[in-house]
Amino acid sequence: MKLDIKLFASLQKYMPDMERLELNGSSKVLDLLKRIGISSSEVSIALVNGQQVKLDHTLDEGDTVAIFPPIAGG
């Protein structure tokens, strides 16, 4: 299955030159993170097609996945 991936802030280092990824079979957001090499502790928010999801959300062909790290500021 082909997915569009968007990584933000400090997570961009994991896929600096890629925005599309292919995974086999039924995969969850957590499987995607493992494939890229991102620890779940580095993730604050995961969006699939603009909707916030949990890391155990099952992905579908053509989904757009956006991953955000915890961000501090004020």
Which CATH number fits the domain that encloses residue 32?
3.10.20.30
Q: What residues does 47 pair with on adjacent strands?
A: 52, 66
DSSP per-residue codes, 4-21: EEEE-GGGGGGSTT-SEE
Pair type for strands 51-53 and 45-48? antiparallel
Calculate the dihedral angle through the C-alpha atoms of 51, 49, 41, 70, rounding to the nearest 10 degrees.
-70
Q: Name the domain count of the chain.
A: 1
Digit-coded pLDDT (tens) for 16-69: 887 899 998 899 999 999 999 999 999 999 999 999 999 999 999 999 999 999
Residue 58: what pLDDT?
Answer: 97
Q: Is residue 44 domain-resident?
A: yes
Q: Which of 66, 62, 54, 72 is nearest to 23 (CA)?
A: 62
In a domain, 73, yes or no: no
Residue 74 inside a domain? The answer is: no
Instruction: Judge whether residue 72 has pLDDT over 80.
Output: no
Assigned domain for 32 exists? yes
pTM of the model: 0.91
Q: Domain range holding 27?
A: 2-68
Structure tokens at 9: 């802030």
